Amino acid sequence: MLTTAQLTAERAEYDAVLKSGIFNRAPNLECFFRYVCERHFSGEADEVKEYSIAVAALRRPPDFDQKKDSIVRVEAHRLRKRLAEFYAGDGASHAVQITIPSGQYVPRFTSQDSGGGRKGAKEGVAGPLATRPSALHAEVIAPRAVQANLRSAPSVVVEVPRKSGIPARFVWMTLTVLCVGVAVSLFWFRSHARSAPPEVWQGSMDPVEGELRFLAGYRGNSFHDRQGRIWQSDRYYNGGSSITAPAGRAYEGLPDPAFVHSYREGAFRYDIPLAPGTYELRLYFIETEFGEGNPGGGPVNFRLFRVDLNGKPVLDLFDALSEAGAPNRLQVRVFRDVSPAADGRLHLAFQEVGEAKPFLSALELLPAAAGHVRPIRIVAQKSNVADTDGRVWQADQYAVGGTQVDRAFVTGPERILFRGERYGNFTYRIPVAPGKYRLRLYFAETYFGTKLPFAQNNRGDPRIFNVFANGLELIRNFDLAKEAGGPNKPLVKEFENLEPNAQGLIVLEFIPVHNYAEVNAIEILEMG
């Protein structure tokens, strides 16, 4: 049992840690820390289990399965690291220090003597040495590349027998040799990892004329997406590593189903030779490592990083997982009026801020008039189309949810825009640069209420739905066939002064009220 003095000292240290700021932008870690400490103070340390932490502290559902979701183990590792960094710095002189022992979740409160050494420990359950006094326990933090190979290795516990015919000196000599061997092996791995030369582009540095698109970390042949655009292999990089993206996953919002190939990860930069002028820059991110269901687990705010453009930050504390709202979902950030630096190159630097390495999935540079961005025109079809004015409308992209199908029943000069539709309950997450925009939505009722032989409901059952832009209501109880004046007739709705949200997106939500929502084409034009 804790004495009153011990409890007072431990609670004081608990409060000091919470006020220290080490949990800024890390709500999961704070909830984890609060939960395990409060259970310790209340004498309920035996209730601190992986499941209870997941459900009570990390807000996982009651059907949480620790075999499928590693969030508790990931957050525990992060919490241990934050506490260690705190007590190596601002908290080094604290009389009481808090640790989360490896392999456990119950906190340990350790009193420090005047010389900074440990005087004694108190925790909710017996420590590992109390239950196995003769066991030698060692935790080795290996480099990330080594950890990946060691995760599945069995644990080895070396015990020194109390009574044995083998001299104790021989046993300790053997253990010493083993420890030296481990240390030498780790030194070899670390020194070789550090000495590995960074990846550096060895190709041409001639100035880029016109559009530039490449897939970061990709080494293969040029990739043609269904928009007709050519994405080249990675180029102009310095540093980082080329990582192959996982295959067989369901990715959301892509410009092409096969768009995801790879990414570049680490501390790296791009030095892109450009012809003089202004450009629109698009940075593509698809988080495939972290997030629920991915190998790194479920937490956001784990991979935070900074992006500098020609020496000035354009993204700070950037969290691609949080911005996208889900793992394996495309997130694009758009920047206008980008120009090369005085040396004729565009410099992009990706710098570590959080506990995981920066990354980039793809990059796009498009010539644009100063002060302007390119218009966005999308048709809910599988390939590009050109309207009667020769303007190109890109194939369906940036959509999450719903189903894309082909239709061909609308008449009129721009009927080509209505040959396909996306229907259901769906969202378009369209990236734009800061500014004000005009939105046009193109509709035609080609299914419900048509009274055609193939129609699902020949009684003329209406389609009614709502449309929102960044949470603002644009259309409510929209009866498409009624407003268009009948089936197979085009209808265009126009809205002005739309602005992107904090993630640089215009998010269009199509929400069914009766039968499915639908849209045929989307146009976004900069105002002014």
For residues 437-463, average pLDDT? 74
Say how far apart CA 468 and CA 98 lie, in whole Å. 48
Written in H, E and C, the secondary structure of 488-509 is CCEEEEEEEEECCCCCCEEEEE
DSSP reduced 3-state for 463: coil
**Percentage of residues in the chain with pLDDT exceeding 70?**
81
For residues 18-25, average pLDDT? 88
pLDDT of residue 254: 93
For residues 124-147, average pLDDT? 36
Nearest to 500 by CA among 528, 472, 521: 472
pLDDT of residue 360: 98
For residues 319-334, average pLDDT? 95
Q: Which tokens sit at 428?
A: 């378009």
pLDDT of residue 241: 94
pLDDT at 378 over 80: yes
pLDDT at 192 over 60: no
Amino acid sitting at position 444: A
pLDDT of residue 248: 83
Say how far apart CA 183 and CA 170 lie, in whole Å. 20
The mean pLDDT value of the chain amounts to 84
pLDDT at 393 over 50: yes
For residues 151-165, average pLDDT? 42
Confidence of residue 93 (pLDDT cuts 50, 70, 90): very high
For residues 316-320, average pLDDT? 93
Task: Give the range with max mean pLDDT: 67-81, 168-182, 476-490.
Answer: 476-490
Confidence of residue 62 (pLDDT cuts 50, 70, 90): confident
Which range, of 71-80, 213-222, 230-239, averages the lowest pLDDT?
A: 71-80
For residues 173-182, average pLDDT? 59
Which has the higher per-residue pLDDT, 25 or 427?
Answer: 427
Nearest to 500 by CA among 422, 423, 439: 439
pLDDT of residue 15: 94
Q: Which residue has the tokens 């299914």?
A: 447
Q: Give 316-320 contacts, CB < 8 A, sequence gap 24+.
A: 316/353, 317/25, 317/353, 317/354, 319/354, 320/285, 320/286, 320/287, 320/359
Confidence of residue 64 (pLDDT cuts 50, 70, 90): confident
Which has the higher per-residue pLDDT, 439 or 44?
Answer: 439
Nearest to 33 by CA among 107, 121, 111, 127: 107
DSSP 133-154: TTEE-------HHHHHHHTTSP
pLDDT of residue 148: 39
Which range, of 89-93, 141-145, 297-301, 494-498, averages the lowest pLDDT?
A: 141-145
For residues 467-489, average pLDDT? 93
Which has the higher per-residue pLDDT, 354 or 262?
Answer: 262
Do 252 and 286 contact (CB within 8 A), yes or no? Answer: no
pLDDT at 230 over 60: yes
Nearest to 467 by CA among 436, 438, 508, 505: 508
pLDDT of residue 115: 47
pLDDT at 300 over 80: no
pLDDT at 132 over 50: no
Confidence of residue 134 (pLDDT cuts 50, 70, 90): very low
pLDDT of residue 179: 57
Span 232-289, pLDDT tens digits: 999 999 999 999 998 888 999 999 989 998 999 999 999 999 999 999 999 999 999 9
Considering the entire predicted model, what is its pTM? 0.66
pLDDT at 71 over 90: no
pLDDT of residue 172: 57
DSSP 19-76: HTTTTTT-HHHHHHHHHHHHHHHTT-GGG--HHHIIIIIS---TT--TTT--HHHHHH
Do 478 and 472 contact (CB within 8 A), yes or no? Answer: no
pLDDT at 129 over 80: no
> 22 CB contacts (<8 Å, ≥6 apart)?
82, 83, 85, 86
